[in-house]
Structure 1
Amino acid sequence: MRARTLLPAILAAALLTLTGCGSSEGAASASDTGASATEASPPAQPPAASNGSGADGAKVPEALNFTATTVDGKPFDAKTLAGKPTVLWFWAPWCPTCKGQAAETAKVATDNAGKVNVVGVAGLDKNAAMHDFVADTDTGSFPHLSDEKGEVWKRFEITQQSHYVILDKTGETVYEGVLPGGKGLADKVAGLTG
């Protein structure tokens, strides 16, 4: 019984040690090494044949074939994102790096409303903390998924918080990585809408 109680705590501590939230030291991003993000790591999910249609009758790639619940407890169907570029922002409520990205991510969401989907995917904590993060960072203008069990994180093979996955309108991953302070997010999104 004691081992079951300690194992999640040990795993969480190991994950924190590996991810290094709040520090970009020791973790070279694709831009630091001169490689593009798609060269640095495999795509989060390759696009697949349609599994139906999303918003405006758009084909739904496999990457967007999932459901979740928002931090506000509302059902969320990712199929509704199909047909538009999508930014998935993976964050944790206790992460200072994530808090530093919040303002820029919210600005990109507001500036591109109707043209680009921006969705926060919160994990590594309880829903109450996730809800507080959204309120404290004033990022409630776009949906945030409560991924306490890590199902969406696993789907996109995310191993650290403060991570972006950007999909083009067909659902293909065009960027995956860390953007300190959200810097560069607006440029990456502009490249998909212009």
Structure 2
Amino acid sequence: MRARSFLPAVLAAAVLTVTGCGSGSGSGSGSDKGAGSSSPAPASGPASSGAGATGSADVPEVLRFTGTTVDGKPFDAATLAGKPTVLWFWAPWCPKCRAQAGETTKVAADFAGKANVVGVAGLDKNPAMRDFVSSTDSDSFPHVADEAGDVWKRFEITEQSVYVVLDKDGKTAFTGVLPGGKGLADKVAKLTG
């Protein structure tokens, strides 16, 4: 019954962050994790999928989920396997998220073909998510519309404006807040050689 006890904690954390838009400290509350760190628990329910496009043997468990992008296209995280991946968890009304959009878009362009960048929008409805992507000119990489919070729960994200950086094998290399996205490029560069 872990899900029943976990869900109220996630919802309570989400309510708390709505008023504060993240941790508020701006001090980069993230943590670098070594290669031996554990992957997030698999999601349950419809956001989980089996193998995906590249076959189950090649896809780490952490990338076995599907969704729909803010522009209505199907999304299969299995397609991210084999390259470092940045998952950017944001909310459309969050000023810290808006401040991160420019740097995140730049990292997506600078590392195109070498690393994946995916936005994971939550804590609002899809029309607001689409407006955020349009107004921040961050439409050069996919954004999953996670209205139900399935991907957020999968990665145990309890506040917006958080980055999860995975290495090419799907192991977590970094999870945390990067004010204005500063330092994201360095974290990705270390993983792409």
1:113-128 equivalences under 5 Å are: 113-128=112-127
Contact persistence 2:52–2:76 (CA under 8 A): no
Gapped runs of 5+ residues in structure 1? Answer: 1-10, 31-35
Q: Which residue of 2 aligns with 1:5?
A: none
**Corresponding position of 1:89:** 88
RMSD: 2.8
Aligned position for 2:128: 129
Q: Which runs of 5+ in 2 are unaligned?
A: 1-9, 43-49
Q: Kindly provide the amino acid, as one letter, of the partner of residue 102 in structure 1.
A: A
- Deviation of 1:24 (Å): 2.6
1:45 and 2:40 matched: yes
TM-score (normalizing by structure 2): 0.80
Q: How does 1:2-151 map to 2 (within 5 A)?
A: 15-18=14-17, 20-21=20-21, 24-25=24-25, 29-30=29-30, 36-38=31-33, 43-45=38-40, 52=51, 54-55=53-54, 59-151=58-150
Given residue 40 of structure 2, which amino acid in structure 1 is its aligned partner? Answer: Q
What does the per-residue CA deviation read over 1:146-177, in whole Å, with 9 as the maximum and x for residues that have no partner? 00000000000000000000000000000000
Cα distance, 1:26 vs structure 2: 8.7
Could you tell me whether the CA contact under 8 Å between 2:63 and 2:170 is conserved in 1? Answer: yes
User: 1:89, 1:121 within 8 Å by CA — same for their partners in 2?
Assistant: yes
Is the radius of gyration larger for structure 1 or structure 2? 1
Q: Kindly tell me: are residues 115 and 58 of structure 1, through their superposed partners in 2, closer, same or farther at Cα, counting changes over 3 Å?
A: farther
Structure with the bigger RCO (C-alpha within 8 Å, sep 6+) is 2
CA distance in 2, matches of 1:191, 1:135: 30
Deviation at 1:22, TM superposition (A): 6.1
Q: 1:192 to 1:56 in 2, by over 3 A?
A: farther
- Residue 24 of structure 1: SS of its match in structure 2? coil
Whole-angstrom distance in 1 between the partners of 2:41 and 2:110: 28
Identity %: 66
- What is the alpha-carbon distance in structure 2 between the residues aligned to residue 133 and residue 43 of structure 1? 32
Which structure has the highest helix share of the two? 1
Count of equivalent residues: 174
The alignment's TM-score, normalised by the length of structure 1, stands at 0.80
**Segments of 4+ moved more than 2 angstroms:** 11-20, 22-28, 36-39, 51-58
